[in-house]
A and B are shown apart, each in its own frame.
Chain A
Amino acid sequence: MTWIRRNLFRSVWDGILSIVFGAIAVYVLWTLFEFVFITGRWEIIEVNLLLLLVGRFPEDQLWLVGTSIVALAFWISAASSGSPKSLDSQPSLSARILDSVQRFGLLSALGVLLILLAGGITPLYWGLAIIGGILAGLGLGKTRRSIAARAKIPNLLWHAAIIAVPITFIALTLSLSTLDSWGGFLINFYIAIISIVLSFPLGVLLALGRRSTLPIVRVLATTYIELIRGAPLFVLLLLAGVALEFFVPTELAPGPIFRAVTVFTLFTAAYVAEIVRGGLQSVTQGQTEAGKALGLGTSKITFLITLPQALRNVIPAQIGQFISLFKDTTLAGAALSVLEVLNVGTAITKQDDFLGQGYIYESLAFVGLLFWVGSYVMSRESQRLEKRLGVGQR
Chain B
Amino acid sequence: MSSLPSAPARVPLWRDVRVLRWAFQLVVLAVVLALLYWLYGNYQANVAKSSIPTNLRFLDNPANFTIPGNDLDQSAPVRDAFYQGFLNTLQVAIVGIVFATILGTLVGIARLSQNFILRTIAAAYVEVIRNIPLLLLLTFMNLAVVLQTFPRIEDAWLPLDLFVISNRGIAIPWFTGSALVLLGIVLVGIVAAWIVTKIRNRISDSTGKPAWAGTYGLLVFVVIMVAGWIATGNTFTLPFVDDRATAGGFRLDPSFFALLVTLVVYTSSHIAEIVRGSIMAVPRGQGEAADALALKPSAKMRLIILPQAFRIAMPALGNQYLNLIKNSSLGATISYFELTQIAQITVGNGSPAVPAFTLTLLVYLGISLITSLIVNYFNRRLALVER
Q: Which residues on A are within 8 Å of B, measured CB to CB? A: 6-8, 10, 14, 17-18, 21-22, 24-25, 213-217, 220, 227, 229-236, 238-239, 242-243, 245-250, 323, 327-328, 330-331, 333-334, 342, 346, 358, 360-361, 364, 367-368, 371-372, 375-376, 379
**B354, A242: Cβ atoms closer than 8 Å:** yes
Residues of B within 8 A of A245 (CB): 46
**B132, A372: Cβ atoms closer than 8 Å:** yes
Question: Which one of B110-118, B229-237, B238-246 is at the interface?
Answer: B110-118
Of all chain B residues, the one with the shortest Cβ separation from A15 is: B115
**B132, A375: Cβ atoms closer than 8 Å:** yes
Let me know if B347 is at the binding interface, CB within 8 A: yes
**A235, B361: Cβ atoms closer than 8 Å:** yes
Annotate B108-149 by CB proximity to A: 1 below 8 A, 0 otherwise: 000000111110110000011011111110011001100110
**B133, A232: Cβ atoms closer than 8 Å:** no
**B116, A342: Cβ atoms closer than 8 Å:** no
Known A21-B118, A371-B136: A231·B42 in contact at CB below 8 Å: no
Question: Which one of B217-225, B283-291, B364-372 is at the interface?
Answer: B364-372
Q: Per a CB cutoff under 8 Å, which of B25, B46, B131 touches A216?
A: B25
- Between A243, A333, A379, the greatest number of chain B beta carbons within 10 A of the residue's beta carbon is seen for A243
- B contact face: mostly helix, strand, loop, or mixed: helix
Residues of A within 8 A of B340 (CB): 232, 234-235, 238
Interface residue tally on B, bucketed by range: 35 or more
Residues of A within 8 A of B116 (CB): 7-8, 18
Cα–Cα distance between A333 and B327 once the two chains are bound (Å): 16
**A232, B326: Cβ atoms closer than 8 Å:** yes
Residues of B within 8 A of A328 (CB): 133
Cα–Cα distance between A342 and B322 once the two chains are bound (Å): 25
Let me know if B167 is at the binding interface, CB within 8 A: no
**A249, B42: Cβ atoms closer than 8 Å:** yes
**A368, B28: Cβ atoms closer than 8 Å:** no
**B148, A361: Cβ atoms closer than 8 Å:** yes
Residues of B within 8 A of A233 (CB): 326
Cα–Cα distance between A233 and B329 once the two chains are bound (Å): 9
Q: How far is the CB of A252 from chain B (nearest CB, A)?
A: 10
Cα–Cα distance between A376 and B326 once the two chains are bound (Å): 24
Residues of B within 8 A of A330 (CB): 133, 135-136
The contact sample of 9 A-B pairs, CB cut-off 8 A, is A7-B114, A8-B116, A10-B115, A246-B47, A327-B131, A342-B133, A361-B144, A361-B148, A368-B132
Q: How far is the CB of A367 from chain B (nearest CB, A)?
A: 6
Residues of A within 8 A of B332 (CB): 234
Cα–Cα distance between A358 and B140 once the two chains are bound (Å): 12
Cα–Cα distance between A378 and B330 once the two chains are bound (Å): 25
Q: How far is the CB of B358 from chain A (nearest CB, A)?
A: 7
16 A-B pairs besides A7-B115, A230-B364 with CB distance below 8 A are A8-B116, A14-B115, A17-B118, A24-B121, A25-B117, A214-B25, A217-B25, A231-B365, A232-B327, A246-B47, A249-B42, A331-B330, A333-B135, A334-B135, A360-B143, A360-B147
Q: How far is the CB of B210 from chain A (nearest CB, A)?
A: 22
Residues of B within 8 A of A375 (CB): 130-132
Let me know if B88 is at the binding interface, CB within 8 A: no
**B25, A360: Cβ atoms closer than 8 Å:** no
Let me know if B32 is at the binding interface, CB within 8 A: yes
**A376, B140: Cβ atoms closer than 8 Å:** no
Let me know if B379 is at the binding interface, CB within 8 A: no
**B42, A246: Cβ atoms closer than 8 Å:** yes
Q: How far is the CB of A375 from chain B (nearest CB, A)?
A: 4
**A243, B361: Cβ atoms closer than 8 Å:** no
